[in-house]
Amino acid sequence: MSTSEKPRRARSLRSSSDQARSRGLLGGAVFGALLLVALLAWRHGARELVAPGPLARPHAGFTCTSCHAENTAQITCGGCHGPHPSSRSAHRSLAVEGTLTCGTCHAVHRSEAGIAFEPDGSVSIFDTGFDQVVVPPPPPIASVSARAANDRELTPSRLSSATLVPLVRAGACAECHDLDGARDPARSCVTGGADSFSLCFDEHRRPATKTASAATARDAALERARFLVRSRSVTAPLGAPRRLLAAGMPVALACGGALVFGLVLRRRSLARPTEPSGRAVVPGVRRLPVIDAARCLGCHACVDACPYDALGIRRYVAVLERPEACCGAGPCADACPNGSLTLLEGALPLAGPRLSNELEVSGRPGLFLAGDVTGSTLIRNAARQGVAVARAVHARLAGSTHGDDSPGSERVDLLVVGAGPAGLAAGLTARSLGLSVVVLDQAGVAASIRRFSRQKLVLDAASREDEALPLWLGDAPKEELLERWQRTLRGARLEVREGVRVTGVEGSGPFRIEAELADGARAGFRARHVLIAIGTRGTPRPLAVPVPEACVARVHYELSDARAFAGKRVVVIGLGDVAMESALALAAQPDTHVTIVHRGAGFSRGARRNIDAVGRLLARGRLRLVLGASVRALGVASLEIEVLGGVRSLPYDALFVHVGTVPARGLLESAGVAVRGEQG
């Protein structure tokens, strides 16, 4: 068997962000795509969406059958436009052959550009998908007379509707012509690249069937269009940024929709399923593990789960080695993989206050105790008890009438003394049950847990059951635990008054509570029920020798951050669990010299794991242990200890005194709590 330290808990597999990252992605994408199609359909019309493309102004509003004969690709332009063959013989003969069609030059679906001279005198340019007014430059001075004639012809009085002049892109000519060839006749018609417009406005001479004035107006329009094209004011497709915007807007909206929908889906899929609530626990009742030796696997799960090292393994079977150390909270039973370890419910603990099953102090109706002060241990137990008290108070109030509340009197349903796990759990439960509740604490929220050493793991959730506890519990560093609790408190808006030290609880039914504020002022509260959950921490037992003024700052009664003592000579007095944990944390710092001074002759109590860890460090020379020693005097730089009749001097930079605590009995006595036996 190796001597290296093994972890005490098997870790569970958890999904990481790698798995969570793609949640909701597909749903969001599909939703976004559908949204995009819907947006485009709403904007351009559903029919145009599946058409080869939107149609420009001359053919706007046409359906497929307007031009295409039923079920054929045959296009019939002549029906509307009448026969107007090309004025160029080559084109005409090609058209007769069928090689050249209307669509060769006027590709209606791809590009049907043109200029519209509106009745109001403005000029628009259109193409498939856009149509906008342009401000054309005035014609050159040389053609003033022509312009006058032109303007006359195009005056509103003479035009009832817009005159449309089709434009043909050079790209259409390029199907047959070599636009770069020096000898190609079409070259003179083209001013730019494939997207520029042709200058050949004499392609179709209309037969003189129309009135002369109309023919003149048309010639004027063609003349003006030729000028506009030649002057390059209509060459490029207009408004590229606006078109980009027009196409980009639906895409951006769809992206937004995909994001929102995807996030909603993701949140839903990541929501953790609620676990079933655990078994009912009678708070305060002592329970002991019982092991079915025939079924026990000897797997160490319970041994590792026990926070007090009460269990051990003998010949591959678990045994309860130290029943007096058992906390009765049952992490062992929760850890047991096959149920061979069960908890047997026993009587109330022998020592401690006399309490009813509802945790009410006998002889003081309405006064409750919960948490460590009842003699039970563990954060989980304390929280359970707090919940039970709040429920009991709620049940009683539901039975009685609420009518005797005189307005203005500050009387609450439940007043909780002590904002530890029990007090907070009671306060939160009472609040959720609709009771008026005030929590008082002489220090602050969970002050005892706050004083745990830095990043100390609070091992209190070795449990698969997820009870309906109002406070989160889990194997986490104390910082995380406190942060979660603070968040819960903020969310529940529970009133916790800090810095209020309760000095007396008097009366019965309506209790009168005397308290002292941090600034020394006195305050009074009135409450129907009182819960005392002040724990047992009390105050640390002081050193037996006087501490000189000069070294007060170097004598500590608790260790919050061992890193502050790196590289120092530290003396720890005491060999209990607290002392050993401090010493271990300190010895883990680089270059720290830790000496443990203990009165006794060896390890007399404490968890086995701490004893083992100290033993390991002793073997590696990382710790020194002086047994059978007592402190004689405390100097500025060194400590005098008496060992085996002689006196030795120990230099130190910091001194930790962990020789137990003095319980806070005063309040309990003043509140009239009867105590059975004497607590160790």
Partner 1 sequence: MAADAWFRSPLLRGLDARGRADVRAAARLHALGAGALAFAPGDAADTLWFVGSGAVALASGRGVVRVGPAGHFGTEALVRGAVRAVRAYAEEESSLLELPVSAVRRILARADADSALARAETAARREAFALLLAESALGRALDEAALAGLVSVLGEASRGRGERYFSSGEPARHALFVTGGVLELAASPGTTFAVRGDWVALEAALADSPHVETATALGDTRVLTLPASALRELARRHPAELAREREAAEARRARQRRVRGAAPGAARDGFSELERLESARSLLAIELDACVRCGHCTVACAESHGTPRFERRGEHAALVLVGTEAEPVRRALLFPHACQHCRDPACLVDCPTGAISREPDGAVLVREEACTGCGACAKACPWDAIRMAPRSHGAPPGASPLVAAKCDLCHGASAPECVSACPTGAIVRLDPRRDVAEARGVLGRSDSAERAPSASKTLVRWLALAGLLPPLVALARVGSLSMRARGTTGVVAGCLSGLLVAQALVKRVRPLRVACAKVGARAGRRGLSLFVGAHSLAGFAACGAVVAHAGAVPSRGLAGALELVFWVVALSGGFGAVAYRSLPGRLRRLEREGSLPEDGPAERDELEQRLFGALSSQNGAVKGLARRVLIPYAGAPFGPLALLASGRGLAAEEAALTRRVERLLGGRRSERLAGAEVLVKTSVALRALAARRLVERALAWWLPFHLVLAVFLAVLLVVHVVGVMR
Q: Give the strand pairing for 341-345 and 457-458.
A: unpaired
Q: Name the residue nearer to partner 1 (CB basis): 11 or 402.
A: 11
Among 185, 337, 444, 600, binds partner 1 (CB under 8 A): 337
Residue 53 contacts partner 1 per CB under 8 A: yes
The crossing angle, in degrees rounded to 10, of helices 144-153 and 212-230 is 130
Residue with tokens 């290296």: 4
Among 137, 316, 357, 434, binds partner 1 (CB under 8 A): 316
Structural tokens at position 190: 């083209």
Residue 265 contacts partner 1 per CB under 8 A: no
Pick out residues in 370-429 that bind partner 1 (CB under 8 A).
none
Among 182, 240, 280, 644, binds partner 1 (CB under 8 A): 240
Pick out residues in 25-44 that bind partner 1 (CB under 8 A).
25-26, 28-30, 32-34, 36-37, 40, 44
Residue 232 contacts partner 1 per CB under 8 A: no
Residue 251 contacts partner 1 per CB under 8 A: yes
Residue 542 contacts partner 1 per CB under 8 A: no
Please state, in angstroms and rounded to a whole number, the distance separating the CA atoms of residues 673 and 665. 10
Segment lying near partner 1 (by CB under 8 A), choices 144-152, 299-307, 431-439, 523-531: 299-307
CB of 325 to partner 1, least distance (A): 22
Segment lying near partner 1 (by CB under 8 A), choices 11-19, 113-121, 394-402, 492-500: 11-19
What Å distances lie between residue 202 and 85, 86, 219, 220, CA to CA? 11, 9, 10, 12
Contact yes or no for 659/555 (Cβ under 8 A):
no
Q: Name the residue nearer to partner 1 (CB basis): 258 or 594.
A: 258
State whether the Cα torsion 550-553-557-561 is positive or negative.
negative
Structural tokens at position 410: 């500050």
CB atoms closer than 10 angstroms to residue 518 = 11
Phi, psi for residue 534 in degrees, rounded to 5: -95, 0
Residue 262 contacts partner 1 per CB under 8 A: yes
Residue 80 contacts partner 1 per CB under 8 A: no
Structural tokens at position 356: 């009813």
Contact yes or no for 329/459 (Cβ under 8 A):
no
CB of 237 to partner 1, least distance (A): 7
Q: Which residues contact 597 (CB under 8 A, 6 or more apart)?
A: 571, 572, 573, 626, 629, 631, 639, 641, 650
Segment lying near partner 1 (by CB under 8 A), choices 23-31, 212-220, 347-355, 359-367: 23-31
CB of 488 to partner 1, least distance (A): 19
Please state, in angstroms and rounded to a whole number, the distance separating the CA atoms of residues 316 and 298. 4
Residue 10 contacts partner 1 per CB under 8 A: yes
Segment lying near partner 1 (by CB under 8 A), choices 160-168, 298-306, 432-440, 544-552: 298-306
Segment lying near partner 1 (by CB under 8 A), choices 113-121, 248-256, 415-423, 441-449: 248-256
Residue 267 contacts partner 1 per CB under 8 A: no
Residue with tokens 């949204």: 35
Among 140, 156, 181, 248, binds partner 1 (CB under 8 A): 248
Residue 49 contacts partner 1 per CB under 8 A: yes
Pick out residues in 180-199 that bind partner 1 (CB under 8 A).
194-195
Residue 2 contacts partner 1 per CB under 8 A: yes
Between 96 and 135, how does the x/- string for binding to partner 1 read (CB under 8 A)? -----------x--x-----------------xxx-----
Residue 271 contacts partner 1 per CB under 8 A: no
Structural tokens at position 345: 């419910």
- Nearest-5° Cα angle at 315, 310 to 320: 20
What Å distances lie between residue 96 and 91, 100, 205, CA to CA? 9, 8, 17
Residue 439 contacts partner 1 per CB under 8 A: no
Which helix (DSSP H) or strand (DSSP E) does residue 22 occupy? Answer: none
Pick out residues in 601-640 that bind partner 1 (CB under 8 A).
620
Encoded amino acid at 480, one letter: E
Q: How many CA atoms lie within 13 A of 554 on its CB side?
A: 20
Segment lying near partner 1 (by CB under 8 A), choices 142-150, 290-298, 381-389, 550-558: 290-298
Residue 587 contacts partner 1 per CB under 8 A: no
Structural tokens at position 223: 């003349």
Q: Name the residue nearer to partner 1 (CB basis): 560 or 649.
A: 560
Pick out residues in 461-480 that bind partner 1 (CB under 8 A).
464
Report, in angstroms and rounded to the nearest whole number, the Rg of the chain calculated over CA atoms: 46
